[in-house]
Amino acid sequence: MTGLGYVLVGLALGVAVGAAVAAVRGRSGAQGTSRLEARLEVQSAELRRLADAGSVRDGESERVRSELAGAREALRELALRDDERRERDRESWEVVRRLRPCSRAGRPRAGPARTSCAITSPSCRPRCS
């Protein structure tokens, strides 16, 4: 055999061994790739689940904020109505306090108002007339 023959035989053997190694490695590489793809898919699903949970939490916090704003507004309105009621009660009691001297034991006297003012104390006269 000549030098060229030895080169061709070596080249053929190298190609055959390389093809065999590539075939063996390709099978295990394909399994490794499929495992890697499966892990990536699991991680992707987990990230989607976390993102969905985060968006639900954001929606719930927004709902809670709007409910709190509504509750604050209702409390403001209740406080305003309570202040108005207290003012009316204060005015009513002022009228009762002012008219109390013109009556006896909380009941009006018999007869017209001028007659009752003539009988009552002088402090009541300006109020009754």
| All structural domains of the chain with their residue ranges | 18-99
- Would you state the pLDDT for residue 71? 93
Q: What percent of the chain has pLDDT over 70?
A: 72
- Would you state the pLDDT for residue 70? 92
- Would you state the pLDDT for residue 111? 54
- Would you state the pLDDT for residue 85? 95
Largest interatomic CA distance in the chain: 157
Greater pLDDT, 73 or 113: 73
Question: Chain-wide mean pLDDT for the chain?
Answer: 77
- Would you state the pLDDT for residue 129? 45
- Residue 103: CB atoms within 10 A of its CB come to 14
Place of tokens 């104390």: 121
Phi and psi (nearest 5°) for 10?
-65, -40
99, 113 in Cβ contact below 8 A? no
Structure tokens at 43: 């991680």
Range among 29-33, 94-98, 119-123 rated most confident: 94-98
- In sequence order, the β-bridge partners of residue 108 are 103
Alpha-carbon separation of residue 76 from 66, 71, 80, 115 (angstroms): 15, 9, 6, 49
